[in-house]
Structure 1
């Protein structure tokens, strides 16, 4: 089977990528929600304009689901849980991040076979966690308590990881080579030449050497590169893995670079001072997730806009598909706090106070959360469940 994957040529990529995307999205309702941002915003455009409030104009994630939040390391190895995927980031309405996260949490709870009352408690704790972090965005959001054990486990794994863990996970070995196979595919000559040329550009080498305090003037060489089949909603865009050697050949260290095509965002956007989609992603990352943004750069390759970022072994994501009721509720509060902190850092005290006041309105006796958040999640779950089953039917008919 591995040999068949290796033989995939650039002209055949689209067919294989589409098939893999359909398969991933058919695995569960939660996977469908994670992988179909466009469907979410189509629903939002049709049904939410009268109910969801207009928050302040700030950078939002745009695709704020559970899988897009996790541990990220800065250049010194310090780890903080932040938003880890900014493909959809725009200057927009922070309420959209709240609805997207609430939908993701609700479908994760359903995937864990938790009762509906759990979703009610999750929404209440989610908005409380968000509001608390929004009010004090410079305060650390701590993952304490037995109910946050699933998050603590991932954090501890993140703290223990080193380069060889990243190499074994991403490239299957610590040898300086990217093995072609299921995930990594061969490049054509034009792609290889373009990548070689890219990593000779002054701005690119400066960014690589700047990160982790590497010495200026150090030699950088492309050791290997491959097309990378990774992700779900991004499948179909150009994506490359590039293994770089830092330093002289007989005394090298290595780093793994992710090059990802930046496409247009589905999220409704307000006025932004950016020139292209890659710059949009990098700018949003610097505002929302400093640990990630500091190692990203907007680049051009083959006439397309791509985002370059160095991968760190500490970068992980949460798998919260199997939780107890207590864990699900605690996770909802904690993850919403991470988003609240990312939003709140961009607002002055007056703007934060006004947004908090808006969020505290429309609570009812039966739900300590905004009614617009609850009604949106209920409608979105029904809408996405129908779309997910239809997706499965169409996918199965193509097998």
Structure 2
């Protein structure tokens, strides 16, 4: 790939984002968080009002996956917190329900599959007492965990940057930095305490890590257009580390009124991650780059995103129940037993208020599916005409 001019970066990133969102309705849902919250602003009163806790704010399939903690143990948890706020836990349920329903639509499954999926999602959520046993996991999640536990640095290097050991490649995913920008990124990464970021660092200490290279990282969808950098580090005995440095922006997700949260957006992201997904939150740090708040994590080889290209009817029900339990556990661990029992009782009551009426979750997801499908088709039309 020819090296892009530094000034072309914003325009290029916008094209990449538009192209990704045009790939499928499910991809569009992932990249259109603001559209979801525009709908929520008009319909929030119709949802159950749960206790104010840290929520993901953008809980979709791509934002769940395998995460390693500082001891190297792996679990499936939520893995993205750009939109995290102290808010209504029902928002996460609706967002995850919409994501699963969009995946079902993309898999050309009948409508009854969506109805049963939402029942399983809610059932898994309210029954969440602990991480599901191996026998209760879906095959997709069992395979993801098995692959994650076995992964090592060479797997990550091959997947992320073509196996290079001394520098990041320059291609469509990694862009060269402006001289001043590169200096700031290298200085920022050099100042980090690696002991708090990566399990491998505990054996060698902070001073032994050297920053080898840094690049602008073309990654994600909704974050495109904001600062994002990759940095490659080497420690003693040729230990390597890959840092993901990301700009923290204003959350679109609505926060609960009169509830104190960190005013610094990077500190807010880390606080939410610690509360919801300790495997990730406990190995993150924050700072400033180019005058903007950023947060950073060392990517572990065991960190793997949940990727599902197509679904079957039976597979959908199992995975919905399991993901509901994971989301429920992330919420429950922030509540007392009494508050959790009261909250899940409200959810059951809301779901069964009238036998001949759709549940709040079904009504919300169906309405969102319709509005997002129209917006997706219009996005594709504009994208095609702009080429």
TM-score tier by shorter-chain length is over 0.9
Q: Give the TM-score normalised by the residue count of structure 2.
A: 0.95
Where do 5+ consecutive residues of structure 2 fail to align? none
Cα deviations by residue, 1:5-33 (Å, 9 ceiling, x for unpaired): xx213311101100000000001000000
Give the superposition deviation at 1:82.
0.2
Q: Distance in 1 between matches of 2:132 and 2:201?
A: 25
SS at match of 2:167: coil
Tell me the residue number matched to 2:135. 144
Q: Give the TM-score normalised by the residue count of structure 1.
A: 0.92
Q: Distance in 1 between matches of 2:165 and 2:207?
A: 21
Tell me the residue number matched to 1:339. 327
Correspondence 1:382-393 to 2 at 5 A: 382-393=370-381
Cα deviations by residue, 1:84-126 (Å, 9 ceiling, x for unpaired): 1111111000000000000011111111111100111101111
Give the superposition deviation at 1:77.
1.6
Q: Distance in 1 between matches of 2:353 and 2:112?
A: 15
- Tell me if structure 1 keeps the 8 A contact 2:246–2:294: yes
Aligned-CA RMSD value: 1.9
Q: Aligned pair 1:61/2:56, yes or no?
A: yes
Give the superposition deviation at 1:262.
0.6
- Tell me if structure 2 keeps the 8 A contact 1:60–1:288: yes
Give the superposition deviation at 1:165.
0.5
Tell me the residue number matched to 2:208. 219
Give the superposition deviation at 1:261.
0.5
Give the superposition deviation at 1:217.
4.9
Q: Distance in 1 between matches of 2:355 and 2:158?
A: 47
Q: Distance in 2 between matches of 1:173 and 1:276?
A: 36
Tell me the residue number matched to 1:265. 251
Where do 5+ consecutive residues of structure 1 fail to align? none
SS at match of 2:35: helix
Q: Distance in 2 between matches of 1:368 and 1:118?
A: 19
Tell me the residue number matched to 2:37. 41
Which of 238, 244, 262 in structure 2 is aligned with 1:252? Answer: 238
- Tell me if structure 1 keeps the 8 A contact 2:175–2:217: yes
Which of 62, 84, 89 in structure 2 is aligned with 1:94? Answer: 89
Q: Aligned pair 1:199/2:195, yes or no?
A: no
Give the superposition deviation at 1:301.
1.0
C-alpha spacing 1:207/1:29, structure 2 compared with 1 (3 Å):
same
- Tell me if structure 1 keeps the 8 A contact 2:186–2:211: yes
Which consecutive segments of 4 or more residues in structure 1 shift more than 6 A?
A: 365-370
Number of residue pairs matched by the alignment: 385
